[in-house]
Amino acid sequence: DAKTTQPNSMESNEEEPVHLPCNHSTISGTDYIHWYRQLPSQGPEYVIHGLTSNVNNRMASLAIAEDRKSSTLILHRATLRDAAVYYCILRDVGFGNEKLTFGTGTRLTIIP
């Protein structure tokens, strides 16, 4: 499986934008980039995913580098409820390979 590298932790001020980076230099052409987050004492929650183009949804935006070797999850205006561990995951959509392999993620702390 292609690997991702994320900072162990980040801090951000409430109501400010947050940019969470992820490096995936060994990404293959069939790897989708997925982001999940996990709030304390809960199961992971899907945030967003993309392949080549930038993606937006109600929760966040995903900016993907042109060479696809890195991506950034953007929370436009952080709230205290965004404090969580954020996981960047590569998913190869080859047949029969449906598992998502989680790393240790980035622990995001929001400062009031």
Partner 1 sequence: GAGVSQTPSNKVTEKGKYVELRCDPISGHTALYWYRQSLGQGPEFLIYFQGTGAADDSGLPNDRFFAVRPEGSVSTLKIQRTERGDSAVYLCASSLIHEPTGFTTGELFFGEGSRLTVL
Segment 36 to 75, residues that bind partner 1, using CB under 8 A: 36, 41-46, 49
| Residue 21 in contact with partner 1, rule: CB under 8 A | no
CA atoms of 96 and 29, how far apart (whole Å)? 17
- Residue range at the interface with partner 1 (CB under 8 A); choices 14-22, 65-73, 74-82, 101-109: 101-109
Provide the minimum distance between the beta carbon of 109 and partner 1 in the complex, in angstroms, as a whole number: 16
Q: Given 3-state DSSP classes, what are the helix, strand and coil percentages for the chain, each rounded to the nearest 5?
A: 5, 45, 50
List the beta bridge partners of residue 20: 73
Distances (CA, A) of 87 to 29, 95, 96, 108, 112: 20, 23, 22, 11, 23
Among 27, 105, 108, 110, binds partner 1 (CB under 8 A): 105
- Binding residues (CB under 8 A) for partner 1: these are 32, 34, 36, 41-46, 49, 85, 87, 91, 93, 95-105
